[in-house]
């Protein structure tokens, strides 16, 4: 397996790069997040890679960071999600945004990525739950735990509040709050606005 590639960036034709390594040119597909971090053609670059061998092709995918590569590897493990779809997801949102969407089970955020429909987004949320954020070292920070946060959000949405209003209310709820207290605090906040 090819785990890293270092060489001279010859050309960029999104999403594909051509990298010259000791006279051999490697075509490497990269997400847009990596593409934006690249130097000008003729400069030296180093990319972490994922080498994929299929019946009809051998492809090399490059990433600027380890977290991007690990997210890509988690995505392609899911049935029905190929390498092109995984690249589209990583091009459409950062790894932190993806991990947050998965932790909060926000399938609608994933459908904003071109090529991701409702069913695929729901499958991503279901199969990546608990896998993506811990593997990438992402913590919820000052927010509620993902399960509690999601339950409070769903309750507020079921009560007829818009997603924008419900998310605003969630930001006002302190960490380590139970679901029932979170709903109560959310309703209290929403009644004042």
149-180: pLDDT as tens digits:
778 888 888 888 887 888 888 888 887 788 88
Mean pLDDT for the chain overall:
86
CATH of domain 148-191: 1.10.8
Considering only CA atoms, which of 90, 158, 171 is closest in space to residue 124?
90
Share of the chain above pLDDT 90, in %: 45
Domain range summary for the chain, segments of one domain joined by +: 4-63, 66-128, 148-191
**Position 137 confidence tier, pLDDT thresholds 50, 70, 90:** very low
Query: How many Å apart are CA 120 and CA 128, to the nearest integer?
Result: 12
Q: What is the largest CA-CA distance in the chain?
A: 67
Say what the pLDDT of residue 3 is: 92
For residue 17, pLDDT beyond 90: yes
Residue 6, beta-bridge partner list: 46
**Position 147 confidence tier, pLDDT thresholds 50, 70, 90:** low
Backbone phi and psi for residue 62, each to the nearest 5 degrees, phi listed first: -115, 150
Indicate the CATH number of 4-63 among 3.40.50.720, 2.40.50.140, 3.50.50.60, 3.40.225.10. 2.40.50.140
For residue 193, pLDDT beyond 80: no
Q: What is the mean pLDDT of residues 29-33?
A: 94
Burial 67-81 (b: 16+ CB within 10 A, else e): bbbbbbebbbebeeb
Share of the chain above pLDDT 70, in %: 92
Contacts of 90 (CB under 8 A, 6+ apart): 31, 32, 33, 68, 71, 72, 75, 98
Query: How many Å apart are CA 182 and CA 83, to the nearest integer?
Result: 39
Q: Bigger pLDDT: 113 or 27?
A: 27
**Position 31 confidence tier, pLDDT thresholds 50, 70, 90:** very high
Say what the pLDDT of residue 143 is: 43
Please give the span between the terminal C-alpha atoms of the chain, in angstroms, as a whole number. Answer: 56
Q: Bigger pLDDT: 2 or 62?
A: 62
Classify strands 44-53 and 24-29 as parallel, antiparallel or unpaired: unpaired
Query: How many Å apart are CA 116 and CA 58, to the nearest integer?
Result: 24
pLDDT tens for 45-74 read 999 999 999 999 999 999 999 999 999 999
Residue labelled with tokens 């955020």: 109
CATH architecture designation of domain 66-128: Orthogonal Bundle (1.10)
């Amino acid at each position: 397996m090819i785990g890293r590639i270092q060489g001279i960036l010859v050309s960029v034709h999104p999403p594909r790069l051509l990298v010259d390594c000791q006279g051999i040119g490697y075509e490497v597909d990269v997400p847009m997040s990596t593409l934006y971090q690249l130097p000008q053609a003729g400069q030296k670059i180093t990319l972490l890679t994922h080498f994929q061998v299929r019946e009809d092709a051998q492809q090399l995918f490059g990433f600027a960071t380890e977290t991007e590569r690990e997210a890509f590897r988690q995505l392609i493990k899911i049935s029905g999600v190929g390498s092109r779809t995984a690249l589209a997801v990583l091009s459409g949102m950062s790894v932190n945004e993806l991990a947050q969407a998965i932790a909060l089970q926000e399938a609608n955020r994933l459908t904003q990525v071109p090529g991701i429909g409702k069913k695929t987004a729901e499958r991503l949320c279901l199969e990546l739950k608990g896998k993506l954020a811990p593997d990438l070292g992402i913590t919820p920070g000052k927010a509620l735990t993902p399960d509690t946060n999601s339950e409070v959000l769903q309750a507020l949405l079921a009560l007829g509040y818009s997603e924008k209003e419900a998310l605003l209310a969630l930001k006002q709820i302190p960490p380590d709050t139970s679901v029932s207290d979170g709903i109560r605090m959310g309703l209290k906040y929403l009644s004042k606005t």
